[in-house]
Amino acid sequence: MSIRHNRGFELRKVLAGNIRAYRHKKGLSQEAFAEICGLHRTYVGSVERAERNVTLSTLEAFATALGAPVPDLLTRRSLHNGQ
Amino acid sequence: MSIRHNRGFELRKVLAGNIRAYRHKKGLSQEAFAEICGLHRTYVGSVERAERNVTLSTLEAFATALGAPVPDLLTRRSLHNGQ
């Protein structure tokens, strides 16, 4: 796998962990969360597996649904330790 | 213009302002900055006009080129006042 292909992978992992952590904190299933975002459950699942190179507008939909600032969703933290 | 079409516009404006501010701080032209990022100058121009719904991997390229954390690029601030 090329470096170019891997570009953004760390960031995708940070986003994945934060989304899962915030979603659990709100007691939302992937399906309920996806519905609030107006996205498909399988898409949310792939974001949580760090598979998606999401766009700003999707980031904003996640942030709005989770009540979290966008920058927080991209900040590496220990919030999701212990999940 | 629909709400859906506008989704992410505020975020695009925040990113645009921060990229311009960081780029000026480093004394880089759009062309030089684009070259460091491995992107075209016209693409960088359209990002700075808040026209692009950029992805995580592009955000990371910008952050690396500017020496700025990704979350900072999406944080509303007064850094670029006075430009």
Contact (CB<8Å) A11/B72? no
Q: What is the pLDDT averaged over residues B33-47?
A: 97
Percent of chain B with pLDDT over 90: 81
Residue B77 banded pLDDT, cuts 50, 70, 90: confident
Average pLDDT of chain B is: 89
Q: Which two tokens stand for residue A20?
A: 């899962």
Tell me, what amino acid is at A42?
Answer: T
SS3 A55: strand
pLDDT of residue A78: 63
Whether the Cβ atoms of residue B14 and residue B76 lie closer than 8 Å to each other:
yes
Supply the pLDDT for residue A41. 96
What's the confidence (pLDDT) of residue A2?
40
All structural domains of chain A, each given as residue ranges with its CATH number in brackets, are: 3-68 (1.10.260.40)
User: Which of B8, B70, B71 has the CB atom closest to A60's CB atom?
Assistant: B8
Q: Give A71's contacts (C-beta < 8 A, 6+ positions apart).
A: B71, B72, B74, B75
Whether residue B79 is predicted with pLDDT greater than 90 in this model: the reply is no
- pLDDT tens-place string over residues A5-17: 566 789 999 999 9
Q: What is the ipTM of this complex?
A: 0.84
pLDDT band at B8 (very low <50, low <70, confident <90, very high): confident
Q: Model confidence over A23-65: pLDDT tens digits? A: 999 999 999 999 999 999 999 999 999 999 999 999 999 999 9
Phi and psi angles of residue A25, each rounded to the nearest 5 degrees, phi first: -60, -35
- What's the CA gap between A14 and B63, in Å, rounded? 15
Q: Which pLDDT does position A77 carry in this prediction?
A: 82
Euclidean distance between CA atoms A61 and B11, whole angstroms:
11
Phi, psi (rounded to 5 degrees) for B39: -125, 165
Chain B positions touching A51 (Cβ under 8 A) are none
pTM: 0.85
Sign for the pseudo-dihedral over CA of B1, B62, B56, A59: negative
Q: Which residues of A touch B (CB under 8 A)?
A: 7-8, 10-12, 15, 53-57, 59-61, 70-72, 74-75
Question: Distance (Å) from the C-alpha of residue B53 to the closest C-alpha of chain A?
Answer: 5
d(CA B80, CA B1): 28
Residue-wise pLDDT tens digits, B52-68: 999 999 999 999 999 99
